[in-house]
Amino acid sequence: MKNYKFVILYLMIINLLVPAATVNAARPGRFEPISTADCQSLREIAGKTLGVAFKLEPDAPFTDLRSNEEGRGCTLTATGTGRDFPDLPGELAKKLMNAFKGWTEVTDADVYAGFGSDGGYAAMTREAKLMVIHIGWNPTPEAQAEAEAKCPGEPVSSCGSIKPEQKLYTIEICVAQH
């Protein structure tokens, strides 16, 4: 009978400690970063495709905008002006998506449905991986002030022509896996 009490006590302690450790470590269903080597390969492809350098962050916050599911992922970021990125955001996204061979465009989600003149989102999948591409630009403070004076209450992108150097682009490619 003595051994029975010891076993029960042991099992109670294990049940208190182990589930918390395994749940926090595994987090089933959450996104995790892809390998650094895979992320570096994607950075090379993106950089070659758009002719700019991408900064690589191998373990960054990640969110699937369809489900709001979160986790960690690899993030590639490039910034520049409209001189660096003369194409519209949607055209830049198409170039990237065509360059990422073996990936399939996500077409079943409104949130990844396309781009306006000032930006938007696209997504691609490959096996258990999800890639989210966000491309957008904001006006320089000077361009914003000019547009507000010329077209009060209107978006900058619809208020006449904005010079390429007045568009501050950010291109972000986030990739994670289940």
3-state secondary structure (DSSP) of residue 76: strand
Residues 89 and 160 in one domain: yes
Q: Which two tokens stand for residue 33?
A: 């970063």
Residues 72 and 142 in one domain: yes
Q: Which two tokens stand for residue 105?
A: 């465009």
Tens-digit pLDDT profile for residues 38-77: 999 999 999 999 999 999 999 999 999 999 999 999 999 9
pTM of the model: 0.80
Torsional sign, CA 59, 78, 55, 98: positive
Instruction: Check pLDDT > 90 for residue 86.
Output: yes
- Section 154-167 average pLDDT: 85
Confidence of residue 121 (pLDDT cuts 50, 70, 90): very high
Structurally, the chain folds into a number of domains equal to 2
Residues 18 and 51 in one domain: no
The more confidently predicted of residues 147 and 45 is: 45
Q: Which two tokens stand for residue 92?
A: 């830049």
Q: What is the pLDDT of residue 57?
A: 97
Residues 139 and 109 in one domain: yes
Contacts of 171 (CB under 8 A, 6+ apart): 46, 50, 54, 77, 78, 79, 85, 92, 133, 134, 135
Backbone angles phi, psi at 134, to 5 degrees: -120, 125
Residues 4 and 56 in one domain: no
3-state secondary structure (DSSP) of residue 2: helix
Residues 71 and 147 in one domain: yes
Q: Which two tokens stand for residue 151?
A: 């077209």
Q: What is the pLDDT of residue 29?
A: 61
- The average confidence (pLDDT) of the chain is 85
Residues 65 and 42 in one domain: yes
Enclosing domain of residue 15: 1-26
Residues 74 and 5 in one domain: no
Q: What is the pLDDT of residue 4?
A: 38
Q: What is the CA 158 to chain-centroid distance, rounded?
A: 27
List residues bridging with 5 in a β-sheet. Answer: none
Residues 40 and 6 in one domain: no
The more confidently predicted of residues 173 and 3 is: 173
Torsional sign, CA 36, 100, 44, 171: negative
List residues bridging with 61 in a β-sheet. Answer: 72
3-state secondary structure (DSSP) of residue 138: strand
Q: What percent of the chain is predicted at pLDDT more than 70?
A: 84
Instruction: Check pLDDT > 50 for residue 178.
Output: yes
Residues 18 and 106 in one domain: no
